[in-house]
Amino acid sequence: MPGDIVLRVNDLYTHFVTPHGVVKAVNGVSFAVRARQVLGVVGESGCGKSVMALSLLGMVEPPGKIVSGEVWLNGVNLLALSKEQLRQVRGKEIALVFQDPMTSLNPVLTIGTQITETILAHRAVSKAKARQRALELLAKVGLPHPEKLFHRYPFQLSGGQRQRVMMAIGLSLNPKVLIADEPTTALDVTVQAQILEELTRLKSAFNTGIILITHDLGIVAEMADDVAVMYAGSIVEYGPVLDIFENPGHPYTVALLHSIPRLGKDGKVLEPIRGQPPSLLDLPDRCAFRPRCPQAGRKCTGRKPFLKAVAPGHYVACHYAAGGRPAEVGLV
């Protein structure tokens, strides 16, 4: 069972000012993560999910800029911290595992050095202690022969092994929140299954809240407790995983569920979503899904719809969603 809230994001906006206009990559996102909870964030490429992850860690590079919002972790608003203070928090309290472990590991340092460095940078422990902890971690993420791997370089490892090393580094300081951005996308399914199993095990062992970012609805169904569906920089639907799959409220979520091929249901013809995902450049202040939406009506030319509750804990941002009051900022 998920525990207390460990991370709360309030009304986050991250924009990129380019010569062509303003790219609104994250456009008013709010949610909370509990200990031992997996929050699945689904969306297609360019929906802003990765920029959202970087924003939580204050890692957005210019021309990107966090325009407004709060990220509360342990009673501290991370976005109000200085660069140096943030560096202290990053890795220790909140860590990020990327999709591509080859480019996020240093190619000229051994695996062992990279893990012990992380530990030594944040904890006042001896080198021997850090080494011992690193070996423990390598074993914990399911890597065989940690002593051997300790002296190897990233290129000597397979993709699955590198991803496990990234997880070991991510967990090395026992963070309260782990953000995993497409952690298995580059891997084969049999390897993916092992990594996902590891992630589930580690969440309980380390008491970590996990934000799992993926485009794969199968992974969300298997892993997530709650799901946030992102479209064009905003969360358009949020709720418990069963509600999202069995009672989706936003036309985009519905369409997404109808467009994926499923094993064993080959007779069913897929219903693709017409058109293309929108450009995030100069997004108008109205529902971004409207041009592709089969249910778009007169109301949709009006202002962008806010998330409102359709059931307990289940929120939908659609003018035509059945439901009552708008969600308060930070409620979801």
Partner 1 sequence: MSLLKVTDLVKHYPAGAGFFARGKEKVRAVDGVSFSLAAGETLGLVGESGCGKSTLGRLIVRLEEPTAGRIFFNNLDITALSGKKLRELRQKIQIIFQDSYSSLNPRRTVGSIIGEPLANFRIGTRKEQRRRVQELLEIVGLKPEHVSRYPHEFSGGQRQRINIARALALHPQLIVCDEPVSSLDVSIQAQILNLLRNLKTQFGLSYLFISHDLAAVSYISERVAVMYLGKIVEVIRSQDLVQKARHPYTRALLAAVPVADPRRRGERKVIVKGEPPDPLNPPAGCRFHPRCPAAAEKCRTEEPPLETVADGHVVACHYVKI
Binding residues for partner 1, rule: CB under 8 A, are 44-45, 158, 160-161, 188-194, 196-197, 215-223, 241-242, 245, 255-257, 259-264, 266-267, 269-274, 276-277
Give me the least distance between CB of 169 and partner 1, in Å please. 20
Burial string for 92-113 (b: 16+ CB within 10 Å, else e) reads bbbbbbbbebeebbeeeebbbb
The minimum distance between CB 215 and partner 1, in angstroms, equals: 6
Instruction: Name which of 174 and 194 has its Cβ closer to partner 1.
Output: 194
The DSSP call for residue 154 is G
Q: With respect to partner 1, which residue has the nearer C-beta, 45 or 103?
A: 45
* Token duo for residue 109: 């340092």
CB of 293 to partner 1, least distance (A): 12
Q: Which is nearer to partner 1, 13 or 245 (CB)?
A: 245
Decide whether 45 or 82 has the Cβ nearer to partner 1. Answer: 45
Cβ-based nearer residue to partner 1, 4 or 197:
197
Cβ of residue 65: shortest distance to partner 1, in angstroms? 26
Give the nearest distance from C-beta 239 to partner 1 in angstroms. 12
Neighbours of 282 (CB within 10 A): 10
Shortest distance (Å) from residue 243 CB to partner 1: 10
**Residue 269: exposed, middle, or buried by beta-carbon count in 10 A (0-12, 13-18, 19+)?**
exposed
Of 85 and 158, which CB lies nearer to partner 1 in the complex structure?
158
Least CB distance from residue 229 to partner 1, whole Å? 12
94 or 244, CB closer to partner 1? 244
Question: Nearest CA to 138 among 116, 108, 106, 105?
Answer: 116
Structure tokens of 88? Answer: 């202290």
Return the residue matching tokens 């929050």: 39
CB of residue 52 to partner 1, shortest distance in Å? 17
User: Judged by CB, which is closer to partner 1: 72, or 252?
Assistant: 252
